[in-house]
Amino acid sequence: MTKTNTANTLAACQALDQEDPLRSLRDLFQVPESMIYLDGNSLGVLPKATPTRVAAAVTKEWGQDLIQSWNSAGWFQMPLQVGNKIARLIGAKDDEVVAADSTSINLYKVLSAALSISQADHPKKKIILSERTNFPTDLYIAEALCKERGFSLKLVEAEALQTALQQDVAVLMLTHVNYRTGAMLNMKAMTASAHRVGALTVWDLAHSAGAVPVDLNGSQADFAVGCGYKYLNGGPGAPAFVWVHPKHTDRFWQPLSGWWGHAAPFEFTPDYKPAAGISRYQCGTQPVLSLTALDTALDVFLEVEKLGGMQALRNKSLALTGLFMNLVQAELAGHGFGIATPHEENLRGSQVSLTRSEGAYAIVQALIARSVIGDFRAGDGKSQPDILRFGLTPLYTRFVDVWHAVQHLKEVMDSGEWQQPRFSHKNTVT
């Protein structure tokens, strides 16, 4: 354990905030004054511009113009419009991304397409390979498709992925930043390894889009999906997004062949003709009000581009997460905490995950009672420990927020406050 040094003092953190080239971005968000919000990797903070914009969509576009707004307000084009904004954050080009549906539904679409391509090109490949600690819904979707299509799902630890990439692997399905640990995979290297054995890649960007630089085209990835309500701040249940490498988009239908993915939806033909390109990855009518909120939230990133772009966000993210880990080591020695997040900067996303053999859930609840908002992720009682998870969103998180959060955690532990029975009561959502 290290000792507190001058770089980890409150005064030093205040100085870092003053010097932060991104400090003005916090003013674009409605961050509760009394709250230290470290859960932007679950639900992003409300942008100040969103209520006015959504209210206009409700009162003017819906309330007055009604169905005319499909044309006059561009409702029908919104999935591609929003997708083009997201594309700038993930190394994609215009008209390669569409905002639609949920991450799970989009994963079903792209994984189905990937399996169809693999079956056509390599019919003997029958394995979907993934990380054992991948987000469960990703594994559930893969499991269902395996049963439906005659494939098998193989799960290994992250360090065994390279070895497990054999000639029988059809698709490598990975999450770029692990939801539990915050560990980040090397997308370019893993994709190259998959391609060497003739496998396709499907990437989940739920915990990276908007927080860390992503280069889908530069990495030669095949498919990607991601979330609109975490680091992109689109609000609860915001539409997700889907990207498909242009060389794949027109090869196969995605299985949810709804009318919004039709080449000519308003001809109302009984037979399906898929639209060209990424538009075919839409299904039914998209949620216009939610798309409006996400569209507005993404305008924040236009301001980020003026201040150094995604690399500037990444630099601040690394500084925030590094500070958090240093403070935990300095201030919480002897309290039984481990740090699951890699210390190596190239190996971590924008969160810090702590482990503790006892009381992780109660400790998180004690912090929440102090308005320090993180979350808890349960382990399996074996190789996966319980996680106290803190998402550090560089758009609005300050260095002093990190300092105060760790001080609160220290007080919770020093006092034994977390042992109060009320903090052990499990809520529906943890």
Three-state DSSP state, 156: strand
Q: Which of 101, 204, 375, 401 is catalytic?
A: 204
Q: Which of 37, 108, 135, 423 is catalytic?
A: 135
Question: Residue 383: its pLDDT value, please?
Answer: 82
Q: How many other CB atoms sit within 10 Å of the CB of residue 5?
A: 10
As a whole number of angstroms, the distance between CA 387 and CA 183 comes to 13
| Sequence-distant (≥ 6) Cβ neighbours of residue 181 within 8 angstroms | 133, 340, 341, 342, 353, 387
Cβ atoms of residues 311 and 213 within 8 Å: yes
Residue-wise pLDDT for 286-325, tens only, equals 999 999 999 999 999 999 999 999 999 999 999 999 999 9
> Is position 154 annotated as part of the catalytic site?
no
Residue-wise pLDDT for 330-351, tens only, equals 999 999 999 999 999 999 999 9
Cα dihedral 253, 139, 214, 228 in deg (nearest 10):
80
Question: Residue 3: its pLDDT value, please?
Answer: 40
Question: Residue 381: its pLDDT value, please?
Answer: 78
Domains annotated for the chain, with CATH where assigned, are: 6-48+308-424 (3.90.1150.10), 52-298 (3.40.640.10)
As a whole number of angstroms, the distance between CA 400 and CA 382 comes to 36
> Is position 17 annotated as part of the catalytic site?
no
> Is position 124 annotated as part of the catalytic site?
no
Question: Residue 112: its pLDDT value, please?
Answer: 97
As a whole number of angstroms, the distance between CA 146 and CA 142 comes to 6
> Is position 229 annotated as part of the catalytic site?
yes
Q: Which of 108, 229, 281, 399 is catalytic?
A: 229
Q: What residue ranges of the chain have pLDDT lower than 50?
A: 1-4
Question: Residue 5: its pLDDT value, please?
Answer: 54
Q: Which of 223, 389, 390, 401 is catalytic?
A: 389
> Is position 251 annotated as part of the catalytic site?
no
